[in-house]
Structure 1
Amino acid sequence: MDECYLMGLWCGLIMFKFLEEYYQFWSTGPTPVQTSTHVVLPANDDNVETREFEAGDYKWRLVIYPGGKEKGDYISVYLSVVDTNSLPLDWEFNATCTVFLYDHILDKYLCFRVNERNFNKTTTEWGFPKFIPKKVLIDQSSRYIADDSIVLGAEILVIKRHRVIETVTLLKTTEVPQKYEWKIQEFSKLEEDRVRISEEFTIRDVNWRMKLYLNGDSSELSMDVVCASADTFDAHQKVKAEFYLRLKGRLGVVRSSGKLSHWFTSLDKCCGQKAFISFSTMRDPENGLLVDDCCTLQVEILVQLVV
C-alpha cells in the first residue's frame, strides 16, 4: 500500500452510520434509532466524536481514536456519557455495551461486547482500546470500507440502580424505666370476649398497645405488647425494643414474663408470652389477683433502635 493512499484515507471523509436493525436500547424497551454523521479524521490522529444519541435516559457519543487511545497499532472506539452536568451529583449506573463494525463482504457485523461496566462522574467513558488493527482497516482490500465509509453501530443496555437509604436511630437507655399500667374492668366477661386490647400509649415517640387474650381451650391467658406505630411503617422500617410484661395483685407484682426482646415491623407487630397465667389462677379469690372484678397489667418498654 502506498503512502499516498494512507494519507488520503486519514484525511478523507468517512461516514459513520447507525442502522435501525442493530441499534436498540433495551432499558426502556426496543427503541430503534437511525442517524448518520460525517466525520473528518484528522491527519494528527486526534479523536473524533459522533453526534449525540440517547439510551436509557442518558446521552452518549461514540468516540473514535484513529491513532489509538493508548497510541499504538490499533484504532480505539469508546462509548462516552455526555451532558453529565445535567445529572445528579451522585449519578451512577451500570451498562452492557456492544459496538458493531460492518463487514461488507460477509454482510455481517463484527461485534465487540463488554460485560456490565460501571459509569459514574469519574468514569464517563468505556470501550475498546484495541478495537481493530490499523493495517486491517486501512488495507485497500479491507472488507470494512466502502466508498470511503465504514459502518459502526452501538447497542447499550443500561441497568439503573435504585438506592435505598436507611436511617438508624440509636437511643440511649432511659435511666427511669418507662412503664404503662392497664386496668381491665369486668374481667369475668373475658371468657365471652376472648380478647381485650388497651388504649394506645406512647413511649419514646412510638405508639403501643397491650393485648390480653384466651388461648384456644380457654385454660390459659396470653399477653402481648403491640407496636401500634407499625401500622404505618413501610417495608424497611422497624423498631427494636426490650420489654417486661407483668401482672399486679394486692401486694404488687405477682407474675412477670422476664425480659423479652423483639424487632417490630409492619408484618410482625406483636410479641409477648403465651400461657402467661392460667385462667383458673386468675379467678381464684385466694390469689388476690382480682379486685372488684378488675385486674392490673403492666408493661415496661425500653426502645433501643428505630430504623
Structure 2
Amino acid sequence: MSKSSEVVSTVVKKWREHPPSSYCLKVDSFKQLEKFTTSSDDKYQSRLFSSGGYNWKLIVYPKGKEKDNGKGFISMYVEIDRKSLTSAPQREVFAELIFFVYNRKENKYFTIQDVEVKRFNALKTEWGLRQVLPFDSFNNPEKGYVFEGDQCEFGVDVVIPKPLTNWEILSFNDKLENPKFSWTVKKFSQLKEHEYTSKKFSVGERNWVLKLYPKGYSRENDKWLSVFLHLADGDAPKADEKIFVQANLRVLDPHGSNHQAYQMNTWHIGKNLGWGWDEFLSLDELRKAYLDKEDALNVEAEFEVVSATKYSPII
C-alpha cells in the first residue's frame, strides 16, 4: 500500500502589535459594508495605494468570495493596477502579501499570510486569501473584531522582494592543469639565510610560492626543516574570502621512492600566513637520505583540489 504524500499548508497565522505598513482600511459600520457591497459583486475595493514602486488595491469581501470557495468567511485580496504592469520593464511583479484584521479585545492585529511569493502579471492581477476568518466569529462582538458599535479595521502589507544582489558561487576544481610544481634548492648544506622562497607558480587560477626554512621556522627548533605553501604576494585572500587547498608537499628521495610527504587539507583565510609543517623533516634524516650527489634538495607540491569563489558585489 503506497503512503499518501502529506499536504503542507503554506498559510501562517499569528498575532502582531505593529499595524500594517502598506495600507489600512477602517470601516465605521461593518453591517452597512456588508449590505452595500451587494451592488458591487459583494466586494469593496480600496483606492489605489503605492508599495514597492507599484500601485495596488485592497479588496475585502465581507460575505466571502463565493466564486473562490470563500462563502461563510471574510475574504481578502490584493489587485495590482494594470498600468503598473505596463510601465514595468519585466511586465510581472513578485510580492509577499500579509493581511491584517484588527482585534480590539486583544489590542493586536490578527495576521494571515500565504508565505509563497505571488506573481502578478497581465494574466493574474489578483491574489489573496478566500478564508481569512469565519464570518460568524468575525461578526460576534464578543470576539473583538467588531467594536464600538460596528467598527472594524482591515489592512495589508505588500512586500516587494528586492532583486538578489548579494551572492557567491563556490566551486572545487579537481581537474587542474599542471598541478605539480618542483623546486630544486641547490647547495643546501651551504644555505645561510633563515628563509628561502621559490619562484611564483600558478595552479587553479591562483599564484603560489613555497617557503623553506633550512633550520626551522622557529629558531628554537633548529633541528628540523620547515616547509610551507603560501599564496603569492598580491594574491592573498580578500576580506572574508576562503580558498580551499588539497595538496601534497614532498621532499623527494633522490635514491628511490621513500619521499617524505604530507597532505594538506586546509582553508586559506584572511592574512596570507601560509600553511605547512614546522617539523617537516629532521635535518639528520635529510642529510642522510634526501640530498643528491650535488648537495641539492628537491621539494615538490602537487595540488589535487583548489576552490574558487565568485562574488556579487565584487569585494
1:303 correspondence with 2:305: yes
Checking the alignment, whether the CA contact within 8 Å between 1:232 and 1:266 is kept in structure 2 is: yes
Distance 1:113 1:50 in 2: 19
Q: From the superposition, tell whether residues 78 and 220 of structure 1 become closer, same or farther in structure 2 (CA, over 3 Å).
A: same
**Consecutive aligned runs of 4 or more in structure 1 exceeding 6 Å deviation:** 33-37, 87-91, 290-293
Map of 1:164 onto structure 2: 167
Q: From the superposition, tell whether residues 188 and 203 of structure 1 become closer, same or farther in structure 2 (CA, over 3 Å).
A: same
Deviation (angstroms), 1:277: 0.9
Map of 1:53 onto structure 2: 49
Q: From the superposition, tell whether residues 133 and 249 of structure 1 become closer, same or farther in structure 2 (CA, over 3 Å).
A: closer
Map of 1:64 onto structure 2: 60
Map of 2:230 onto structure 1: 226
Distance 1:208 1:187 in 2: 22
SS of 1:41 mapped into structure 2 = helix
Map of 2:76 onto structure 1: 77
Distance 1:299 1:272 in 2: 11
Distance 1:255 1:297 in 2: 10
The CA deviation string for residues 72-102 of structure 1, in whole angstroms up to 9 with x for no partner, is 233322456665674869976766553326x
Checking the alignment, whether the CA contact within 8 Å between 2:118 and 2:127 is kept in structure 1 is: no
Normalization by structure 2: what TM-score?
0.59
Distance 2:80 2:235 in 1: 43
Q: From the superposition, tell whether residues 43 and 110 of structure 1 become closer, same or farther in structure 2 (CA, over 3 Å).
A: farther
Checking the alignment, whether the CA contact within 8 Å between 1:208 and 1:226 is kept in structure 2 is: yes
Distance 1:60 1:236 in 2: 42
Checking the alignment, whether the CA contact within 8 Å between 1:62 and 1:77 is kept in structure 2 is: yes
RMSD: 5.0
Map of 1:180 onto structure 2: 181
Deviation (angstroms), 1:201: 0.5
SS of 1:166 mapped into structure 2 = strand
Checking the alignment, whether the CA contact within 8 Å between 2:189 and 2:295 is kept in structure 1 is: yes
SS of 2:111 mapped into structure 1 = strand
Deviation (angstroms), 1:203: 2.3
Q: From the superposition, tell whether residues 278 and 171 of structure 1 become closer, same or farther in structure 2 (CA, over 3 Å).
A: closer
SS of 1:231 mapped into structure 2 = coil
Q: From the superposition, tell whether residues 93 and 201 of structure 1 become closer, same or farther in structure 2 (CA, over 3 Å).
A: farther
The one-letter code of the counterpart of 2:41 is D
Map of 2:202 onto structure 1: 202
The one-letter code of the counterpart of 2:135 is P
Identity %: 18
Give unpaired runs (5+ residues) of structure 1: 1-20, 26-30
Residues 33-48 of structure 1 correspond to what in structure 2 (within 5 A)?
Answer: 41-43=37-39, 45-48=41-44
1:152 correspondence with 2:153: yes
Q: From the superposition, tell whether residues 145 and 50 of structure 1 become closer, same or farther in structure 2 (CA, over 3 Å).
A: farther
SS of 2:183 mapped into structure 1 = strand
Distance 2:242 2:92 in 1: 24
Q: Which of these residues, 111, 114, 131, is aligned with residue 112 of structure 2? A: 114
SS of 1:211 mapped into structure 2 = strand
Checking the alignment, whether the CA contact within 8 Å between 1:200 and 1:207 is kept in structure 2 is: yes
The one-letter code of the counterpart of 1:224 is F
Residues 236-251 of structure 1 correspond to what in structure 2 (within 5 A)?
Answer: 238-241=243-246, 243-248=247-252, 251=255
Map of 2:211 onto structure 1: 211
Q: From the superposition, tell whether residues 136 and 281 of structure 1 become closer, same or farther in structure 2 (CA, over 3 Å).
A: closer
Distance 1:93 1:276 in 2: 59
